[in-house]
Structures are given as C-alpha cells and as structure tokens.
Amino acid sequence: MRDTAILLLNLGGPVNLGQVEPFLRALFGDRDLIKLPGPAWLQPPLARLIARLRAPSAKGRYAEIGGGSPLLRESAFQASALRAALRTAGREEAVKLCFRCTAPRAKGLLQALKRQGIRRLVPVTLYPHDCRATTGSSLRELAIEAARLGMEILPGVDHYATDPDYLDALERPLRAALQELPGATVIFSAHSLPVRQIEAGDPYEKEIHATCEALQARIGELPGGYLLAYQSRTGPVRWLEPPLKSVLESMGGKDVIVVPVSFVTEHIETLHELDIEYRHVADQAGIRTYRRVPPPGTDPAYIRCLTRRVLEILP
C-alpha cells in the first residue's frame, strides 16, 4: 500500500569521526538505553560530559576500523534486499531506515514521510532479541513522533530469536567455520545488559538463551562444546555473566569460534571489540586459533525471515 512505510529500527552509528561525540551524547542521553545514576533531569548534562570524555578514545577505535561505523551502509543493503523481496511478492511499500542515535532519526524521517503521503508505519526491529533498552527505546521514540504527526503505527516485527530463517543465517557460517576447526569450542557472544534490567522483567536474557539452545540443537554435540558469554559492558553496575574476556582467558591452547548472536550487521562491537580487542585477549591467553563468524547481514535466509514476517502483518 502506497500510504504505508516499513521502518527498519536500529541504534545507528557514526559514519565519520566528526559524528562520534554526537553519537555518544545521544547514546548516553537516552534513559531507556543507559540509565545513568541520579534523576532524569541530570542525564542530559551527564551525557554531554561522558561523551566529551569518551570521544577521543572512541574516535581512535573508529579510526582503526576505517573511520566510522559500517552500520548505516550495511543496514541500507538490508533495506534494499527487503524492498526487492517484497516487490517480488507484489508489494510496493517503502522500506526506510529509522535509527535511535544517528540519522535518519524518527522525528525527521516521519516528517519527510508524511509530506510524501505516508500515513501508516510498520516497525521492524533489526534487534533479533526483545529488549526494552533497544527495541523498546526505538518503539517509544517512534510512538511519540507518530502521535505528534497523527500517523498510525501498525503491529510490527519486534523480535525473532528462534525464527527458523534467522537461525539458518546464523547456522550456515558457523558450520563453515566448524568444517575448518572441528574441535573448536563455540562461544556465543551477546551484548551484555545490566542485571537490574533483567530483574525488572526484561526478556532479553531468556531470548539470547533460546537462540543459543536452538543453534546447539541444530548443530549437535561438539568435541569442544558450547559456551555463552557477554560483551560490551559500560559502567560500574552488575552485568550479565560471564564476561567474554574471562571466558577467553580460560581457553588457552584451544581453538575458539566466536558467534555474535545479538548483532545483524558489522559495527564497532564486531570489527573492533571482537576482531581487535578480544583477538588480543585470545593471543595473550594462548588460544591456538581465534575465529569470529560474520553476522547475518544480507544473508538470503535472514532477508526471508524479515520478508515473511512483514508479509504476515501487512494489511
């Protein structure tokens, strides 16, 4: 329908070094994403301070992966692939990116879409696992802007942790890596989350476990076994355990395959954190071979997952 747009939701990322500090300011200023200590009114000034202090080191990390995040580019490829698949199915809806912390953000995007005659929005998360800090934050911002403009939000795709096509997209590169390293230990690596959010009822941890258990059932028993670990901690609070660093430090002399299960594109957490920082940890620990498999990206199975779910909900 020509009055309906499909919005692919993600966090976003700086495409150049000049965008790093504004990105960090938006990230730490979002109380849904990161709840800083103190009252809500104090979060914006604290976010500005944290962004200013963290920007130099963050710019250094982005410089090491090419000067910016590839997330916008790779998400655009996913949008194009989804648009093509929908057209093959006879649908003509627009497919747009909608990011939380960098452009295109909901406010400007929805204003532009309304001028183009779009009245209805179908949100589709690029976070496979339901989480109030990611999908929840994006949906809340979208709801505020849509209400302000009088636009309707239709039921969307908010998680797909055990979708068979999503699992296919994770399984294929893992099997390829296991053919080369059949005795390796498989480590599923997921973005960590503060324990207080899980204790408050966030479903994220359960959904991560569901994905990992489904993949283990598909692959079967391995000589090296499976482990789940968490990465990307920020701040002095209790986080989900165990941390990936500690797990790697205990794996000396072994082959390791790291599977980033909570990411669907390459970005700073894969290209720098996993490929540079944790590779160094692996080397220091004496790990024999450290292999990281790619995220789904535009894998046909992943695009099938999104396409099928969108077609199921479009009016």
Residue from 208, 200, 254 nearest 231 by CA? 208
pLDDT, one tens digit per residue, over 145-199 is 999 999 999 999 999 999 999 999 999 999 999 999 999 999 999 999 999 999 9
Residue from 158, 152, 6, 159 nearest 84 by CA? 6
Q: In this structure, are residues 210 and 161 in contact, taking their beta carbons and an 8 Å threshold?
A: yes
pLDDT, one tens digit per residue, over 107-150 is 999 999 999 999 999 999 999 999 998 999 999 999 999 999 99
Task: Taking residues 15-30, report their average pLDDT.
Answer: 96
Residue 89 lies in a domain: no
- Please report the pLDDT score of residue 38 as a whole number: 86
pLDDT at 33 over 90: no
pLDDT, one tens digit per residue, over 40-64 is 999 999 999 999 999 999 999 999 9
Residue 84 lies in a domain: no
Q: In this structure, are residues 130 and 120 in contact, taking their beta carbons and an 8 Å threshold?
A: no
269 in a labelled binding site:
yes
Residue 252 lies in a domain: yes
Q: In this structure, are residues 134 and 165 in contact, taking their beta carbons and an 8 Å threshold?
A: no
Count of structural domains, the chain:
2
Residue 217 lies in a domain: yes
- Please report the pLDDT score of residue 64 as a whole number: 98
**Percent of the chain scored above 90 by pLDDT?**
93
Residue 135 lies in a domain: no
Residue 3 lies in a domain: no
315 or 271: whose pLDDT is higher?
271
pLDDT range class, residue 224, cuts 50, 70, 90: very high
Q: Who contacts 63 (Cβ-Cβ below 8 Å, separation ≥6)?
A: 17
pLDDT, one tens digit per residue, over 67-83 is 999 999 999 999 999 99
CATH of the domain at 245: 3.40.50.1400
180 in a labelled binding site:
no
pLDDT at 1 over 70: no
Q: Which domain holds residue 193?
A: 164-292
Q: Who contacts 241 (Cβ-Cβ below 8 Å, separation ≥6)?
A: 230
Residue 78 lies in a domain: no
Query: How many Cα atoms sit within 13 Å of 299 on the Cβ side?
Result: 20
**Percent of the chain scored above 70 by pLDDT?**
100
pLDDT at 95 over 70: yes
Q: Report how far residue 18's alpha carbon sits from residue 68's, in angstroms, rounded to the nearest whole number.
A: 9
Residue 85 lies in a domain: no
DSSP string, 57-123: HHHHHHHHTTSS-SHHHHHHHHHHHHHHHHHHTT---EEEEEESSSSSBHHHHHHHHHHTT--EEEE
7: buried, middle or exposed (CB in 10 Å: 19+, 13-18, 0-12)? buried
Both 168 and 277 in one domain: the answer is: yes
